[in-house]
Amino acid sequence: MTRRVLSVASECVPLLKTGGLADVVGALPKALAEHGWHMRVLMPAYPGLATRLGKRPKALWQDADLFGGPAKVLGGRVEGLDMLLLDAPHLYDRPGGPYGGPGGDHADNDLRFAALSWAAAEIARNGLADGWTPDVLHAHDWQAGFAPAYLRYGPETAVKTVITVHNIAFQGNTGAERLEALRLPRAQFTAKGLEYYGHLSSLKAALVTADAITTVSPTYARELMRPEFGMGLQGVIGQRANDVSGILNGVDTEVWSPEADPAIHAYSAKKLGAKKTNRAALIDEFGLGYFEGPLAVLVSRLTTQKGIDLIPGALSEFTWRGGALIVLGSGDPVLEAAMRREAELNPTRIAVRIGYDEALSHRMFAGGDAVLVPSRFEPCGLTQMYGLRYGTVPVVAATGGLNDTVIDASPAALAAGVATGIKFAPTDALGLAQALRRLADLYADKRTWARIQRNGMKAPVDWAQSSGQYAALYASLAP
């Protein structure tokens, strides 16, 4: 018998993506279908998205007053996904990105995403016009965080709830005076309930009301209970330790496969030769000079979370030893400027492209020798897994999902023939510089290097294992 899950999130590939969250939300329905779970994804109908549902999308749910205006949910299929778009023009029909514009975040984001959560809870409790009702509501991150709370604090329901924390840094904080506007019961504004340091947090609301809590790697699940990583929520999560699990994200191997990637010259673990063609093309594209060391690439938001500020202090020995670096990303203007400056200082070895460019990212993963991920914290991380698939050896900080997906090239791992990359700790400039030194050494040893590349390409980074873990979790909640 097919069971049903309503997945609720603020972004989903292929409709809208600002980060890894969208990749995961878009990949889960396909992965779970194989385990007998039918998943529909509810997200806001940002401008232009409803047209993607086809000519006459069906209205499957409506509300005359969803937090200040009329709203409906439109259903349709997009590239194999069963999408539900919450069409509420007073909340979502505005210029800019999903969360804000050049002037900063939208001032009413608490309301915009409380509305998404409200609609989700109503659909979970009462079903859609086509008769579909879920067994499980799966909320992603703070934007969907009030959904489990609305279900918990409203009329009794059999629907079970899961909250997945993709990044604890984003908590959906807002003022306590917003309780009534957000349709939350004042009686629950207690330390065990909705109250969060005198304020409200939609993520905390989910952490205390959802039936199960997951995050996107086993290491991050443990880290979240510690003050260095929990960002104020460590106590809340620690109290629910028995309900917390870490399930690694997977990679969509239809999109990320060096054998079948239309953006690159194809190659495989058996025939690594064409990787050199990609490398030469990439070096050419960025106008780098001749160098004999490894070509490192980095594709990332440029933020301190990602450790971008550590790079300038860690590069000199690496480039002196023949290494080169290409960076693609955007984010904090100070870090963008710092990266540009590195490229100006050493234009034959360091190149930087500020911006977001999916096709270029594919060429970089194919053409690079190594991918850098020096994050201070990283719930799961995707680019190290793309690196594994593409034989582009990951050099990562030993934190979160980076720790769980890469096997460090320690003497023991090299002797056993299982190493897939380089891990370093602590996450500081010295740690990164030493990791880059190890990278240069390993790269110089061609046989060992090829072994590490091939090990990585064989590593299981698809959804096979993780989708089974989600299915098992759902089944444990709604047997």
Shortest Cβ 19–ligand ADP spacing (Å): 3
Shortest Cβ 401–ligand ADP spacing (Å): 8
Report the distance separating Cα 115 and Cα 422, nearest Å.
Answer: 44
> Per rule CB under 6 A, is residue 322 in the interface with ligand ADP?
no
Binding mask 4-43 for ligand ADP (x = CB under 6 A): ---------------xx--x--------------------
The one segment of 68-76, 188-196, 378-386, 460-468 that binds ligand ADP by CB under 6 A: 378-386
Q: Which is nearer to ligand ADP, 76 or 368 (CB)?
A: 368
> Per rule CB under 6 A, is residue 134 in the interface with ligand ADP?
no
Q: Give residues 168-227 in contact with ligand ADP (rule: CB under 6 A).
A: none
Quote the Cα angle for 345-348-349, to 5°: 80
Q: Which is nearer to ligand ADP, 208 or 396 (CB)?
A: 396
Q: Which is nearer to ligand ADP, 53 or 326 (CB)?
A: 326
Binding mask 283-312 for ligand ADP (x = CB under 6 A): ----------------xxx-----------
Contact indicator for 167, 200 with CB cutoff of 8 Å: no
> Per rule CB under 6 A, is residue 382 in the interface with ligand ADP?
yes
Report the distance separating Cα 169 and Cα 163, nearest Å.
Answer: 15
Shortest Cβ 306–ligand ADP spacing (Å): 7
Residue least distant from ligand ADP (Cβ): 20
* SS3 call for 322: coil
**393-397 and 370-373: which strand pairing?**
parallel
Q: Give residues 328-357 in contact with ligand ADP (rule: CB under 6 A).
A: 328-330, 356-357
Helix (H) or strand (E) holding 334: helix 333-345
* SS3 call for 327: strand
Q: Which is nearer to ligand ADP, 37 or 386 (CB)?
A: 386
Contact indicator for 373, 384 with CB cutoff of 8 Å: yes
Q: List, in sequence order, the alpha helices (H) in 4-62.
A: 20-33
Q: What is the DSSP string of 67-118?
A: SSS-EEEEEEEETTEEEEEEE-HHHH-SSS-SSEETTEE-TTHHHHHHHHHH
Binding site for ligand ADP (CB under 6 A): 19-20, 23, 299-301, 328-330, 356-358, 361, 380-383
